[in-house]
Amino acid sequence: YINVWELQRKDQLQQKIICPGPVTCLTASPNGLYILAGVAESIYLWEVSNGNLLAILNRHYQDLTCLCFTDDSSHFLSGAKDCLALVWNLYNVLQAEPSQIPDPRHVWSRHSLPITDLCCGFGGPLARAATASLDQTAKLWEISSGELLVSVLFDVGIMAVTLDLSEYHMFCGGMDGSIFQVDLCAWPVQRDRTFQTERENGKIFKGHRNQVTCLSVSTDGSLLLSGSHDETVRLWDIQSKQCLKTMNHKGPVTNAFIVLAPANMFNPDGKPSVPLPKFSRHLHGTESSDEPGAEGVTLRLGLHQQEPGQSYLEKAERMYSQMYSTREKNLVGDQEHLTIQVSELEEEVSNLRKINKDLFDFSTRIITKPAK
């Protein structure tokens, strides 16, 4: 099951989503439009607004262990016990026929034991991603090219990994309870390096008595949150490596993270403004998903601005392709091509502003429409 609870009422279960097997990992896109769940070796993708099951991806060979989105929701990453980390383009997944399984953009196969954790930095398709594994390594990758940037070897298996917002440091949680701070900008720059505990003792957080399962850095980069199988969650000062607070639990901690509190989080009278639809157990478009009484509204904003036969997702994919080519090419001596790309990107920004205004006007009319 996937249980959905109301934020203000801890005992108020809003919906129970029945899944075909145990859910091993779960994540939501930053824009709030999609939900990903790992069930055995399959990835399930739902659309939040209508509850449609859009895709079931079967490209892993063993159970999923972790999922995460890029900050712009254009790509997502999956890791599994088969030692593979896959990078998926959301556009390709959404446009694929139900009978076809789209290919991932990248297949990262440099780990030799199961993947335990994933995290993604900022930059959308140009971001960097970190992977952790039981093979005692944490690796940093470039999503645009799929290249391996850094591989760090430790003395223990790594169970959790995260980056600070500036991406100067990578934090890795070990099976022995230690948390290691890796300086990504340390000189000299080496792709393969070994974290030597004796020499870098000042870059280790010590306090957990069992394996670290999750890590999260505050938005200002000063605090680190960690959870462990020793049944505690600890808050650390990154600069001094001192534990500021310990929160005890009645069982192993499997996940914990720092988020900005919503404005109405502590309002006892607050209620969800939009009810969550019933999530489908069948792929959207199949006969079994056509339930009686099912209703839905589809909005296509800025349709008059689209080129004939080209959807907005296709246009977005073309823009991402241009961003990749810009990153990979030597732009010296290619100013004319760069000018064209800049013009197209500026046009895209203008179109997005128009779409945002259309959405705002539409929402305003709906909200202010007098009740019958």
Judged on CB neighbours under 10 Å (0-12, 13-18, 19+), 291 is exposed
pLDDT tens track for 93-110 = 998 877 788 899 999 999
**65 φ/ψ angles, rounded to the nearest 5 degrees:** -120, -25
Coil, strand, or helix at residue 200?
Answer: coil
Residue 287 pLDDT greater than 50, yes or no: no
Q: In the predicted model, is pLDDT for residue 264 greater than 50?
A: yes
For position 246, what pLDDT does the model report? 96
Question: 2-260 domain in CATH 1.10.10.10?
Answer: no
Average pLDDT on 202-221 reads 93
Beta-sheet strand order (sheet of 85-89): 64-69, 75-80, 85-89, 106-108
Residue 322: phi and psi, rounded to 5, are -65, -35
Q: What is the mean pLDDT of residues 229-240?
A: 96
Give the model's confidence band at 305: pLDDT under 50 very low, under 70 low, under 90 confident, else very high.
Answer: very low
- Residue 303: its pLDDT value, please? 44
Least confident of 35-49, 123-137, 254-268, 294-308: 294-308
Whether residue 89 is predicted with pLDDT greater than 80 in this model: the reply is: yes
Q: Once rounded to an integer, what is the mean pLDDT over residues 190-208? A: 86
Domain chopping of the chain, boundaries: 2-260
249-274: average pLDDT: 81
The pLDDT-based confidence of 187 (bands split at 50, 70, 90) is confident
pLDDT at 333 over 70: no
Instruction: Read off the pLDDT of residues 143-170 as tens digits, 9 standing for 90 and up.
Output: 999 999 999 999 999 999 999 999 999 9
Query: Burial code of 217-256, b = ≥16 C-beta within 10 A, e = fewer?
Result: beeeeebbbbbbbbebbbbbebeebebeeeeeeeeebeeb
Cβ-contact 78, 62 below 8 angstroms:
no
Q: Is the pLDDT of residue 310 over 80?
A: no
Decide if pLDDT at 327 tops 60.
no
Q: Band the pLDDT of 7: cuts 50, 70, 90.
A: low
Does residue 293 carry a pLDDT above 60? no
- Cα(286)–Cα(359) distance, integer angstroms: 30
pLDDT value, residue 317: 65
Whole-angstrom distance, CA of residue 69 vs CA of residue 28: 8
What is the pLDDT at residue 306?
Answer: 45
Q: Please return the burial class of 138, using the count of CB atoms within 10 Å of its CB with bins 0-12, 13-18 and 19+.
A: buried
Q: How many CB atoms lie within 10 A of CB 99?
A: 6
> Which residues, 6+ apart, have CB-to-CB distance to 49 below 8 Å?
33, 277
pLDDT value of residue 277? 82
